[in-house]
Structure 1
Amino acid sequence: MENDLLSVSRLFFCGIDVYMLYRFLVAIFPEKWKGKKRIIFSIVIGLMIFLINSARNPLLNLFTVPLVLYMYTVLSFRISLSNGVAYTIIYFSIFGAGKEVFFELLYHMLSNILPFYIPPWFTAGGIYFLLIEYLVGFLFLLYIEKFIKKIKISNSNSFSWYLLMVPVLSLLICITFLYIDFPDSLIVQIVMCIGVFLLFFTNAMVFIILERYTNVMNKIKYAELYNVKRDMENEHFQNILKVNEHYQHYIHDMNVYFNSFRMLAVKGEDKKIVEIIDELKGKIQEEISGVIYSGNPVLNAILSERVSIAKEKGIQLSLFIESFLKVDFISDADMISMFGNLLDNAIEAAEKCDLESRKVDVRLFMGNNYFLVLHIENSYAVSAKRTGSRLLSTKRDSKHHGLGVGIVMNLAEKYGGTLSLEERTDLFITTLTISACVRQENANFGI
């Protein structure tokens, strides 16, 4: 039986393997390079797989081809090493060994039913049946591709390893079928092939279910954030009404004040006039101070709420908000997550200090025309716990806290910026820098 593993057609199928892996990954992760570099590297990977297949050793294929595919994954895409392992195994389990096992069983059954011989895949005659196998695999990839494109997967995600369960278990079950005696009963053969196909198809269902779950969770998050924004806008509107009401009261009483000043001036009570003016000025400042910080209703609501919380907790909160800030490029949801989390962390840390030492200094300004900077300095009494570069919560229920910093880091990366955390002797410094030039999808809610 002639070995056809070194033919041009086999090289073509190795190239298809690499292309299918590319299609699978590019639907999830961004590429590191495009154009000629990607094409050349893909050809090199295809040649490596071609040479491995030419050895005609199933065990060598099983252990070395995934390593080559993993190398292609981590070098071609912006993906973490751990996620690279997970998604390479997922691809190989579905479109590599998984697909081959299914068709091996199917051709075995058809050879017993049909009156013609189906040659092995590595011979010249098997090339046509291999073409069918790859065509079905590619169509299967196109089917699940439309679902995985809708799933936004972060490099920090750990659920990728949970996705491994179904593909790997399916692959193990299918492989065991190859090492058991093929049953004589046609009905049992058909049931076995149907079972293997269903296992093969179940791998796609994982991505379909995940896409549906992500869609539902996004709708829930959308509804929650819409309610938060609506409440914030209402609070902002009420604050404006409150300020206007106070001004109207003072304007209404202005004639009374002027008449009083005139009478006191006639009597030479200059000191009394100064006392009344100072008292009036103090009342106005006390009632309207801290109400309007920004023309952006969401940002203003975030700041107003934290100022109120700091006042209740006896924290000296100083605020500098630069005029004409560029914040419209930030979605409402991201603004709440970034600014809200960092301000909450600073207030919670300062609250643990002695009453006279509770201080938070907040500065929000444009570093230049291209960068927005949120700089927070706060006192603290308890040092932050760390695991590597990640900060952990100092609260007792730390399992459900301490997630805010990670959220802000991911969002800072999304906006082409950075989050810097510095712990000094008596001061904790947080600096969030984000690019005002990064174009994001509009995630604002409601008009």
Structure 2
Amino acid sequence: MGNDLLSISRLLFCAADIYMTYRFFSTMFKKKRTLNIKILISILFTIVMFLENSIGLSWLNLMTVPIIYYLYVILMFRISYTNAIAYTIIFYAIFACGKEVSFEILYRLLTNFLPFYVPPWFTSGGIYFLLVEYFVGFMFLIYIEKYIKKLEISDNDRFSWYLLIVPIFSLIISVNFIYLDFPKVKFMQIFMCVGAFLLFFTNAAIFIVLEKYKDILNKIKIAELSVVKQDMENDHFQKILKINERYRCYMHDINSYFNSFRLLAINGDNTKIVTIIDELKGNIKDVTDIVIYSGNPVLNAILSERVIKAKESGVELSLFVEKFLKIEFVSDADMISMMGNLIDNAIEAAEKCDKERRIVDVKLFMGSNYFLVLHIENTYSDIVLREGSRLFSTKPDPKHHGLGIGIVNSLAEKYGGSLNLEEREGIFITTLTISCCT
């Protein structure tokens, strides 16, 4: 049988390799190309793999095929370069090298046990045996897809490197299997064949188990962050309830005092009126400071609480709240998370400045009939850490302090808006824009 490396059937096998790569990665990562571009890239890499295979050198395939897979994955999917390396090795260990080694040893075993000859893979007669090999590999891929699809896999995760422990050792063992002399003892032949297939299936099983473990860790982490966020919001709600209760008590007492003032004025006892007012002046001032910002009770409580916080911190806080705001579409919890986090950050940053420079300016207004805008300008003294367009916290524990901005970013996207952070001439500017039409 002659060399069949340049036949149409070989081209189809290369196309099958690319398609299996696409199926494997598409279950875990988002695609970043249009349909026509994806088809074009897939055809191009099929041709590249076909030309590489036509050389007919196994050691060259072992070195170059993973590189071809890697470049294909980088071009097709939203995945980091490092993560692409890890998952490409995993795919290659299971569906390329592992599969081929297992069937190679199986065919050696069958040749020794049964009276027929298995032609080399690069001949025309070897095509039929390759068909069996690819069919089993494709069925196995479909089988494990249903487990992978249930997992939430990040496009940039350091944990993926731990997944490589078994595949790398499997590749080393598989290569040794190919170049070792086949045992003469039939029992050892069977043992070697079973071991090769167990290695093939174990790679996939361990990959799924570790991915599930990683998925569970991610869900635990998300749950912990949700609990932290919920505790923060519950604390805010308790403060809001107290402020609103003070407001109701104030309104109730004011009505009583006005009635008393009216009777005292009728009786001409003006001195008594002045005495009562002087006695209540401090309390009235404290409460009236709370109720002048907005007709929305939750927003009003958020702003009132921050005014008190700013005074306690020695920060000069100026507030502008446009009348007739469209803010009812924002849930109370989301309003607390967005407005509270951003104003808190501004106050804390200004508090670190010299006393004469502790300034925060907050404006809440309608950018149009369709957008609500929260614009904050504050002084700051810390050096702003920046990586590209991304800003990082300078607090002692930035990993946890950065959660506030992350929460606001997520909520801004939820309401069809955006969060913009910038620094300009010693002033830190925060602009939150959310859509009223969400």
TM-score, normalised to structure 1's length? 0.78
1:282 aligns with 2:285: yes
Question: Is this contact kept in 1: 2:290–2:304, CA < 8 A?
Answer: no
Per the alignment, in what secondary structure is the counterpart of residue 164 of structure 1?
Answer: helix
Deviations 1:270-307 (A, max 9, x none): 996699399375243145568x8967x7x889878766
Residue type of the alignment partner of 1:133: E
**Cα distance in 2 for residues equivalent to 1:214 and 1:178:** 35
Deviations 1:121-172 (A, max 9, x none): 2222222221221122212222332233233344443334443343233212
Q: Pick closer, same or farther for the CA change 1:282–1:399 going to 2, 3 Å.
A: closer
Q: Pick closer, same or farther for the CA change 1:270–1:128 going to 2, 3 Å.
A: farther
CA RMSD of aligned residues (A): 4.2
Question: Is this contact kept in 1: 2:233–2:336, CA < 8 A?
Answer: no
**Cα distance in 2 for residues equivalent to 1:434 and 1:381:** 29
Larger radius of gyration: 2
**Cα distance in 2 for residues equivalent to 1:392 and 1:361:** 22
Q: Show the counterpart of 1:173.
A: 173
**Cα distance in 2 for residues equivalent to 1:191 and 1:343:** 69
Q: Pick closer, same or farther for the CA change 1:283–1:229 going to 2, 3 Å.
A: same
Residue type of the alignment partner of 1:357: R
Question: Is this contact kept in 1: 2:79–2:156, CA < 8 A?
Answer: no
Q: Pick closer, same or farther for the CA change 1:149–1:420 going to 2, 3 Å.
A: same
CA displacement at 1:431 relative to structure 2: 3.5
Deviates more, 1:259-268 or 1:34-43: 259-268
Question: Is this contact kept in 2: 1:174–1:196, CA < 8 A?
Answer: yes
CA displacement at 1:20 relative to structure 2: 1.0
Q: Show the counterpart of 1:325.
A: 327
Aligned length: 433
**Cα distance in 2 for residues equivalent to 1:265 and 1:158:** 79
**Cα distance in 1 for residues equivalent to 2:230 and 2:401:** 23
Overall identity of the aligned pairs, in %? 49
1:431 aligns with 2:434: no
Per the alignment, in what secondary structure is the counterpart of residue 159 of structure 1?
Answer: helix
Correspondence list, 1:75-94, <5 A: 75-94=75-94
Question: Is this contact kept in 2: 1:391–1:405, CA < 8 A?
Answer: no
Q: Pick closer, same or farther for the CA change 1:236–1:403 going to 2, 3 Å.
A: closer
1:62 aligns with 2:65: no
CA displacement at 1:342 relative to structure 2: 5.0
Q: Show the counterpart of 2:261.
A: 260
Q: Pick closer, same or farther for the CA change 1:224–1:33 going to 2, 3 Å.
A: closer
Deviations 1:72-112 (A, max 9, x none): 32322233444334433332232222322222223223322
**Cα distance in 2 for residues equivalent to 1:151 and 1:405:** 27
Q: Show the counterpart of 1:442.
A: none
Residue type of the alignment partner of 2:129: F
Question: Is this contact kept in 1: 2:326–2:436, CA < 8 A?
Answer: no
CA displacement at 1:56 relative to structure 2: 0.9
Residue type of the alignment partner of 2:28: I
Question: Is this contact kept in 1: 2:363–2:375, CA < 8 A?
Answer: yes
Question: Is this contact kept in 1: 2:99–2:137, CA < 8 A?
Answer: yes
**Cα distance in 2 for residues equivalent to 1:421 and 1:227:** 24
CA displacement at 1:262 relative to structure 2: 4.0
Q: Pick closer, same or farther for the CA change 1:187–1:28 going to 2, 3 Å.
A: same
Question: Is this contact kept in 1: 2:419–2:431, CA < 8 A?
Answer: yes
**Cα distance in 1 for residues equivalent to 2:99 and 2:228:** 47
Residue type of the alignment partner of 2:70: Y
Residue type of the alignment partner of 1:260: F
Per the alignment, in what secondary structure is the counterpart of residue 31 of structure 1?
Answer: coil
Q: Show the counterpart of 1:32.
A: 32
Question: Is this contact kept in 1: 2:412–2:434, CA < 8 A?
Answer: yes
Q: Pick closer, same or farther for the CA change 1:329–1:387 going to 2, 3 Å.
A: same
Q: Pick closer, same or farther for the CA change 1:248–1:382 going to 2, 3 Å.
A: closer
Q: Pick closer, same or farther for the CA change 1:27–1:314 going to 2, 3 Å.
A: farther
Deviations 1:47-72 (A, max 9, x none): 22122212212233233333333333
Q: Pick closer, same or farther for the CA change 1:429–1:253 going to 2, 3 Å.
A: closer
Q: Show the counterpart of 1:229.
A: 230
5+ residue gaps, structure 1: 439-447
CA displacement at 1:315 relative to structure 2: 3.3
**Cα distance in 1 for residues equivalent to 2:355 and 2:155:** 41
**Cα distance in 1 for residues equivalent to 2:62 and 2:4:** 20
Q: Pick closer, same or farther for the CA change 1:72–1:282 going to 2, 3 Å.
A: same
**Cα distance in 1 for residues equivalent to 2:200 and 2:305:** 53
Q: Show the counterpart of 2:152.
A: 152
1:10 aligns with 2:10: yes
Deviates more, 1:198-207 or 1:305-314: 305-314
Q: Pick closer, same or farther for the CA change 1:310–1:245 going to 2, 3 Å.
A: closer
Question: Is this contact kept in 2: 1:233–1:301, CA < 8 A?
Answer: no
Question: Is this contact kept in 2: 1:370–1:436, CA < 8 A?
Answer: yes
**Cα distance in 2 for residues equivalent to 1:435 and 1:233:** 26
Deviates more, 1:98-107 or 1:157-166: 157-166
Question: Is this contact kept in 1: 2:97–2:174, CA < 8 A?
Answer: no
**Cα distance in 2 for residues equivalent to 1:256 and 1:417:** 46
1:116 aligns with 2:116: yes
5+ residue gaps, structure 2: none
Question: Is this contact kept in 1: 2:353–2:381, CA < 8 A?
Answer: yes
Question: Is this contact kept in 2: 1:89–1:164, CA < 8 A?
Answer: yes
